[in-house]
Amino acid sequence: MEILHVSAECYPVAKAGGLGDVVGALPKYLNQLGHIAKVVMPMYRTKYLYNHEWEVVHKGRTNLGSWWFEFTVIKEAKNENGFDLYLIDINGLLDREKVYGYDDDSERFTAFQIAVLDWVSAWEHRPDVIHVHDHHTGLIPFMLKHCFKYRNIKSIPTVLTIHNAQYQGWMDWADSKMIPAWDTWSWGMLDWANKINPLASAIKCADKVTTVSPSYLDELKYMSNGLEDLFEYEKGKCVGIINGIDADVWDPATDTYLQNHYSIKDAEAGKLKSKLDLCETFNLDPEKPLIVFIGRLVGEKGADLLPQVIGDSYYYVGRRMNFLVLGSGFPEVEAELSAMKALSQRDYNAYIGYNETLSHLMYAGADFLLMPSRVEPCGLNQMYSMRYGTVPMVRRIGGLKDTVIDYGEPDGYGICYNYTAVGDITHAVWRAVELYHDKKNLSAIRKRMMALDFSWEASVKKYIDVYNSIV
């Protein structure tokens, strides 16, 4: 089968979060099973672009409403990622440094999707499936089925994967002029609550919808930022498939970001070396357990509670642990976490920003990884941390619920709690400190976690079943 993935992110080209990791890995594993999976994404101005060789495969001219523009499709020349990678260059619109966060994101991603379909409609053959990811590519199933100019490719089946339903790409109806002419009777396939809603539209128009964990799919029926009824109505075509992790990138024995490599056999010593390095860099006390947070500093991740959780932990549990935070997001949370550095007694530090290298060092050197998410469609951090022998402290929600078993249960290995509430999280911190001093138990738990298989092999087969059901 030939599957074309269309996405706003793909590691290592451009990544803002887990979407990039997934789109950078799933196609590679599909190819390993004999399929042809390709990725097309916008051409941002990233380091990757300048460090690689590209060949031009297509040039086109098209329009976004009354604005006509030229676009170029380039292909990475050496197939370095294990799949064909295509970038779409739209001068002035896509070639920027960040992936998201511009006022004209709706125009940017609508133009990108139009360019993708114009390009595919010019192919001499048809891909078997077009697989879109999240709302940035959510207009494609609609445009394919209802825009007159894509009649020649309208029979290509589509799959939507929802990585995060909190963001839906809402557009005013006035923006409908950006979408190439369509049969107006089908306006309802774009609409949700009097807005153009690209995510809702993709749920309605795609042949199959997947979410990145089974529990998240259940939760969306009662908590999906306004789409609850739609999920209930469309549940027949939805399936939850847990993400895997790219075992080539995320392996403490070979990780190119690490200096101290280790595996399950020498995990204690290997982790200790990484911890000592981290503690030295961030002025922390290596005798105490190291609890880290890595992620977007937003409400979904429970990041707004971190300052209070850290303060309460010092007060109620005692200054018996270190906290190290890596992330960026809400300016107020960033400011509060930065200000707290002044109060550190060699037991707190924060790096505000995005730093891929540091994230790998933290997965390796930490004892515990805190994830108090309010919403977590899958979550990759907890799987990375387990692969690196770091105990996850997770709220029982979404993919966290599907991947972590509390160490108090038979064969368990993590620390779980029910609510994103300061009391619950602080209690989890107390449990982490207690576990840290129970060295024998901690070492057994580390080994158990590191032996778990979170690779893509199992999940990729479920995606193939989905494709087979519609091709």
What residues make contact with ligand ADP under the rule CB under 6 A?
17-19, 21, 294-296, 326-328, 354-356, 359, 378-381
**Helix/strand/coil for 393:** strand
Q: Nearest distance from residue 328's CB to ligand ADP, in Å?
A: 6
Long-range contacts: 153-156, Cβ < 8 Å, 24+? 153/117, 153/120, 153/121, 153/126, 155/126, 156/120, 156/126, 156/127, 156/128, 156/129, 156/130
Q: Which CB atom, from 93 or from 383, has the smaller least distance to ligand GLC? A: 383
Q: Which is nearer to ligand GLC, 347 or 376 (CB)?
A: 376
User: Is the sign of the CA dihedral 405, 409, 411, 414 positive or negative?
Assistant: positive
> What residue number has its CB nearest to ligand GLC?
18
Q: Which does 356 bind (CB under 5 to 8 A by kind): ligand GLC, ligand ADP, none?
A: ligand ADP
- Is-contact 392 404, C-beta < 8 A? yes
> Which residue, 165 or 378, is less far from ligand ADP as judged by CB?
378
The least distance separating ligand GLC from the CB of residue 24, rounded to whole angstroms, comes to 11
Binds 326, which of ligand GLC, ligand ADP, none (CB < 5 to 8 A, cut-off by type)?
ligand ADP
Q: What's 260-272 look like in SS3?
A: CCCCCCCHHHHHH
Tell me whether residue 395 or residue 431 sits nearer to ligand GLC (CB atom). Answer: 395
The pair of structure tokens assigned to 401 is: 């619920």
Q: Which does 359 bind (CB under 5 to 8 A by kind): ligand GLC, ligand ADP, none?
A: ligand ADP
We find the least distance from the C-beta atom of residue 469 to ligand ADP, in angstroms, to be 26
Binding site partner of 327, from ligand ADP, ligand GLC, none, Cβ cut-off 5-8 A by kind: ligand ADP
CA distance 397 to 405: 12
Choosing among ligand ADP, ligand GLC, none, which partner's interface includes residue 138 (Cβ < 5 to 8 Å by kind)? none
Amino acid letter for position 453: D
Query: What does 212 bind: ligand ADP, ligand GLC, none (CB cut-off 5 to 8 Å by kind)?
Result: ligand GLC
- Which residue in the shown chain puts its C-beta closest to ligand ADP? 18
Distance CA 471, CA 467 (A): 6
Cα–Cα distance measured from residue 133 to residue 146, given in angstroms and rounded to the nearest whole number: 19
**CB of 141 or CB of 295, closer to ligand ADP:** 295
Q: Report the partner that residue 12 touches, choosing among ligand ADP, ligand GLC, none (CB closer than 5 to 8 A by kind).
A: none
CB of 164 to ligand GLC, least distance (A): 4
How many Å apart are CA 451 and CA 303, to the nearest integer? 29
Closest to ligand GLC by CB, 169 or 379: 379
**25 or 200, CB closer to ligand GLC?**
25
In the complex, the smallest distance separating the C-beta of residue 100 from ligand ADP, rounded to whole angstroms, is: 12
Output 6 or 196, the one with its CB closest to ligand ADP: 6
User: Among residues 321 and 378, whose Cβ is nearest to ligand GLC?
Assistant: 378
Q: How far is the CB of 395 from ligand ADP (least distance, A)?
A: 13
Judge contact between 143 and 150, C-beta under 8 A.
Answer: yes
Nearer to ligand GLC, 131 or 163 (CB): 163
- By a kind-dependent CB cut-off of 5 to 8 A, residue 294 interacts, out of ligand GLC, ligand ADP, none, with ligand ADP
In the chain, what is the greatest distance between 2 CA atoms, to the nearest angstrom? 68
Structure tokens that stand for 342 in this block = 């002044």
Q: Do you know the residue count of the chain? A: 471
Strand bridging mode 84-90 / 67-76: antiparallel
Rank residues 229 and 356 by Cβ distance to ligand ADP and give the closer one: 356
Answer for the pair 462, 239: CB distance below 8 angstroms, yes or no: yes
Q: 98's torsion region: left (phi>0), alpha (psi -120 to 50) or beta?
A: beta
Least CB distance to ligand GLC at residue 399 (A): 6
End-to-end CA distance of the chain: 9
The least distance separating ligand ADP from the CB of residue 438, rounded to whole angstroms, comes to: 28
| Distance (Å, whole) CA 377 – CA 235 | 17
**C-alpha dist (Å) from residue 414 to 259, 279, 434, 443:** 26, 23, 13, 13
The listed partner (ligand ADP, ligand GLC, none) that binds 381, CB under 5 to 8 Å by sort, is: ligand ADP
The minimum distance between CB 163 and ligand GLC, in angstroms, equals 3
CB of 164 to ligand ADP, least distance (A): 6
What residues line the site for ligand GLC (CB under 6 A)?
17-19, 22, 163-164, 212, 243, 376-380, 399
The partner in contact with residue 355, picked from ligand GLC, ligand ADP, none with C-beta cut-offs of 5 to 8 angstroms by kind, is ligand ADP
Sign of CA dihedral 215, 220, 221, 223: positive
What does the alpha-carbon distance between residue 324 and residue 349 come to, in Å, rounded to a whole number?
5
